[in-house]
Amino acid sequence: MQICEGRVCVVTGAGRGIGRGHAIELARQGARVVVNDLGAEVDGEGTSSGPAEEVVEEIHGFGGEAVANGEDVSDFEGAHRLINCAIDTFGGLDVLVNNAGILRDRMLVNMSIEEWDAVVRVHLRGTFAPTRWAAGYWRDRSKAGEVNEARIINTSSSSGIYGNIGQTNYGAAKAGIAAFTIIAAKELARYGVTVNALAPGARTRMTENLQRARGMASPEPEEFDARSPDNVAPIVAWLASVESAGITGRVFNVAGGRLSVAEGWHAGPITDKGGRWYPAELGPVVLDLVAQAPPNAAMNGLIPWPEESD
């Protein structure tokens, strides 16, 4: 069964890797897809229409409907043109998948302002801008008495919600996207829009150097490839469908066949003096609170509990 039959979807950063998998799976599930990709290198430099057009050709090859789009999602007016592309081409918009991103990894003490700004612009502003225009479209429909079954699916990262060395720029942007997702879900519910996010784990241009450094071997041809970027697409297709109407404001970890809900910041151990603290008395109080709290999650999202002693 095609669970996205007739849905109109925009997928940003859809020319390669995880975004490519999203676009193809959505089309296989019956969606009409705007394949957006600037065609840049991993660091954001350069442009090429080739990657988006190749994905469109692949979708057309199995009878799907798609159109290529080369707008820069971090450009406010470019993002507006992208949303209008879906509306003008396919008559509306049901789903926005914000996936575009770049990397400029550097240790904090060596990072330049350009490296910071470039990454934050593409990831964080590149999520805000298309969402802003899509949300405006759905708000106008709602005010006109139309009923929306709209979906926004953002792309966060374990680097953002759990933390990874050498990625303060990327991680800060991805953590921002997770927070953006939760807030936007609350704001847009009145218009029939759900907003969720993914923290995907997969082998892409953006992660291949990291995986080589960790000595991750490629699977044998007959083995399940747990690092394939295509493994992320099924949850996107389901979230894009009308079946997901009750799910919003959530971030999902997904890698291979493993799916989990990322639990956000929440209050842990607490103490209340009932009055103002004196700085000199806080030492043992803070140490006790931290001792009671679980450690921060590792990059896989799991809390590394210490082994119990005999």
Helix (H) or strand (E) holding 296: none
How far apart (Å, rounded) are the C-alpha atoms in residues 157 and 197? Answer: 9
Q: Is 278 a catalytic residue?
A: no
Measured CA to CA in angstroms, residue 111 lies from 104, 118, 163 at distances of 9, 12, 17
Among residues 158, 170, 241, 244, the one annotated as catalytic is 170
b/e sequence 279-310, b meaning 16+ C-beta within 10 Å: eeeeeeeeeeeeeeeeeebeeebeeeeeeeee
How far apart (Å, rounded) are the C-alpha atoms in residues 38 and 45? Answer: 10
How far apart (Å, rounded) are the C-alpha atoms in residues 85 and 121? Answer: 22
Q: How many residues does the chain have?
A: 310
Residue 138 has phi, psi (to 5 degrees) of: -70, -35
Q: Is 174 a catalytic residue?
A: yes
Among residues 137, 159, 174, 241, the one annotated as catalytic is 174
How far apart (Å, rounded) are the C-alpha atoms in residues 180 and 187? Answer: 10
Q: Is 157 a catalytic residue?
A: yes
> Kind of pairing, strands 8-11 and 95-98?
parallel
Nearest to 13 by CA among 187, 210, 215, 153: 153
Among residues 74, 137, 156, 157, the one annotated as catalytic is 157
By annotation, the residues acting in catalysis are: 157, 170, 174
